Structure 1
Amino acid sequence: MRLLHIQDLTLKEFVGRYPAYAILSHTWEDDEVLFADIANLEHARTKAGFNKVQQACRTAANDGLEWIWIDTCCIDKSSSAELSEALNSMFQWYEGSVVCYAYISDMLPDENLAHGLKKSRWVTRGWTLQELIAPDTIRFFDRDWHKREGDGGICDITQIDPNVISGRCPLSSIPVCHRMAWAASRVTTRIEDRAYSLLGIFGVNMPMLYGEGGRAFVRLQHEIIKSTNDLSIFAWIPREDQIISTQGQSPQFHSGIGLLAPGPENFTYSSSVKRIVDSVFDGEFSVTNNGIKITNELKLYQNKNGDERAYFFGLGHEIRDGTRNKELGIDLYKCAPNMFSRVGRPELSSLPYSGPAGQTERQVV
């Protein structure tokens, strides 16, 4: 980890043990001070981003700190190995800071904090999600670096549980689909960063492969599956343009979407999902070269068309359906022995009661 000295603006690398340091959360603007610029401070001072570096250092000095971490200038992005290590470690670096300064560059000095945050670019970016959650202490600053008191209703704005932001609730206790929902409306400049910015949120690591596009989000889900048996990772909704109808197939069923979500936006409505009390999935699921392999009971039901290939796979969670909670799951269509295709529906599914249920099969791919 490389830190910036707040007085002379020199960089020093620390391994293993780190001094107390502040950390900056911000959105990138034009003409930022980069790693290479620190070696030539005369040139760095001519850049628009130098004022942000300078103000962050002054704020850290006022807090009695000697070091600060700023992503624009503390990472040598010309080294792919260093960049990969930094992105995999970033959640821990924010978590280990004494204080995080959230600089909201588009918040006016006379603007109400809650209103300023709600319309800010900062709450829309993918990387700032972990920068909000990981630190124990976060302080907000407006465009002119005036400290803004309070939290600005950040929990209501982001739909993140206050106990998560305060650190009283471990992330591992939050259903996977809820954590995905936090990122559903956030954007990143690079499509791969939709996945890379969530590594710390799920406590996983993976190599950075810029150029892989949407495949990065699929790889992220593979890593999550390796580390948890939380079936809510499948509690997402496909968009219409992600559903491919199969000719000759029952019109109620569609294929081509698979069990894994194309992106975090598919979890937009998954924050309403609740884990069923005392429900523990005792089966197993894994990624294979032929899809997702799951060993668990399936419930056979007869849909309104009388199709006997309709199955329901419970996810150990529930959703509100009218006046009561109903078991959440995904609808499957049996397309071959031990082979099932996910049904494309525009809503989260609950156990259907339109026909008989009770027959089971033990394997899903």
Structure 2
Amino acid sequence: MFKWYRKATQCYAYLPDISTGGLSSRKPVRQDWYPAFQQSRWFTRGWTLQELMAPTSVEFFLVEGDRLGNKYTLMQELHGITRISVEALRGIPLDQFSVDERMSWVGRRQTKREEDMAYSLLGIFKVYMPLIYGEGHGNALARLQKEIKARSREESSLPQNVTSRNQSQAAQSYNGAVFYGPISGRHVVSGTHVTGGTNNFNFG
């Protein structure tokens, strides 16, 4: 999926939890939507990290269909919410950033399937591994670490003995960044539409 987003001509992120309150008589201004934008569930989903980082262009839309802007016009807001560096948001190759920094982008994100928290990072680290649902997040994390080590020279920055950690603990930490946590409540996803070439893809 990361490659699809990377090759897409345009991506659209629909934010169903952000509304201007029916202010249809004028264009929404920042004070109308920014507080809700900061709290949007879009920023808590594991898979939306690649939806943000992979495409050249991402357009954001409110529930009413009003356009907020794109990844570049909203860059400072996105940086403030995600703590992802402006340079990374601008499209500098992700392998220019350390393993630790890229892992920190996970932030408060969660996924419905525990293994997806690792699988959603494959494109961020330019690694490949088979998806084995049911293996658990501990095993998925261990395999991700192995693939990152095989590709990266930053072995000293990777945590040791990840597989020996208690897999039932509330959260796994990756050099200070919360990596896994319990999934509670209903998994709400936003719609992301990808347009590229002759194919259109819709992801919930």
TM-score (norm 2): 0.71
CA contact (8 A) 1:221 1:260 kept: no
Q: Aligned pair in 2 of structure 1 residues 133, 192: CA closer, same or farther (>3 Å)?
A: same
**TM-fit CA distance, 1:122:** 0.3
Which residue identity is paired with 1:226? A
Instruction: Work out which structure has the larger RCO, using CA pairs closer than 8 Å and 6 or more positions apart in sequence.
Output: 2
1:71 paired residue number: none
Counterpart Cα distance in 1 of 2:66 and 2:126: 34
Which residue identity is paired with 2:174? F
**TM-fit CA distance, 1:162:** 1.0
Per-residue CA deviation, residues 285-326 of structure 1 (Å, 9 max, x unaligned), is: xxxxxxxxxxxxxxxxxxxxxxxxxxxxxxxxxxxxxxxxxx
Which residue identity is paired with 1:165? L
* Aligned-partner SS, 1:100: strand
Counterpart Cα distance in 2 of 1:148 and 1:268: 34
Which residue identity is paired with 1:258? N
Per-residue CA deviation, residues 188-243 of structure 1 (Å, 9 max, x unaligned), is: 000000111000000011111100012111111111111111135425xxxxxxxx
Query: Given the alignment of the two structures, is residue 101 of structure 1 paired with residue 12 of structure 2, yes or no?
Result: yes
Query: Given the alignment of the two structures, is residue 227 of structure 1 paired with residue 151 of structure 2, yes or no?
Result: yes
1:173 paired residue number: 96
Which residue identity is paired with 2:151? S
Which residue identity is paired with 1:216? A
Q: 2:77 aligns with which of 153, 171, 194?
A: 153
Counterpart Cα distance in 2 of 1:166 and 1:261: 38
1:114 paired residue number: 34
Per-residue CA deviation, residues 247-306 of structure 1 (Å, 9 max, x unaligned), is: xxxxxxxxxx72569698513746xxxxxxxxxxxxxxxxxxxxxxxxxxxxxxxxxxxx
Higher helix share: 2
1:258 paired residue number: 161
Counterpart Cα distance in 2 of 1:192 and 1:259: 15
Query: Given the alignment of the two structures, is residue 194 of structure 1 paired with residue 133 of structure 2, yes or no?
Result: no
2:64 paired residue number: 144
Query: Given the alignment of the two structures, is residue 134 of structure 1 paired with residue 54 of structure 2, yes or no?
Result: yes
Higher strand share: 1
Query: Given the alignment of the two structures, is residue 124 of structure 1 paired with residue 44 of structure 2, yes or no?
Result: yes
* Aligned-partner SS, 1:266: strand
Aligned length: 159
Counterpart Cα distance in 1 of 2:37 and 2:156: 30
CA contact (8 A) 2:142 2:162 kept: no
Q: 1:212 aligns with which of 121, 135, 141?
A: 135
Counterpart Cα distance in 1 of 2:106 and 2:10: 23
CA contact (8 A) 1:94 1:134 kept: yes
Counterpart Cα distance in 2 of 1:116 and 1:232: 39
Q: Aligned pair in 2 of structure 1 residues 266, 186: CA closer, same or farther (>3 Å)?
A: same
CA contact (8 A) 1:117 1:154 kept: no
* Aligned-partner SS, 2:11: strand
CA contact (8 A) 2:95 2:125 kept: yes
Counterpart Cα distance in 1 of 2:66 and 2:12: 11
Q: Aligned pair in 2 of structure 1 residues 143, 232: CA closer, same or farther (>3 Å)?
A: farther
Q: How does 1:4-43 map to 2 (within 5 A)?
A: none
Query: Given the alignment of the two structures, is residue 267 of structure 1 paired with residue 187 of structure 2, yes or no?
Result: no
Unaligned runs of 5+ in 2: 22-30, 178-204
Q: How does 1:244-323 map to 2 (within 5 A)?
A: 258=161, 265-267=172-174, 269=176
Q: Aligned pair in 2 of structure 1 residues 184, 232: CA closer, same or farther (>3 Å)?
A: farther
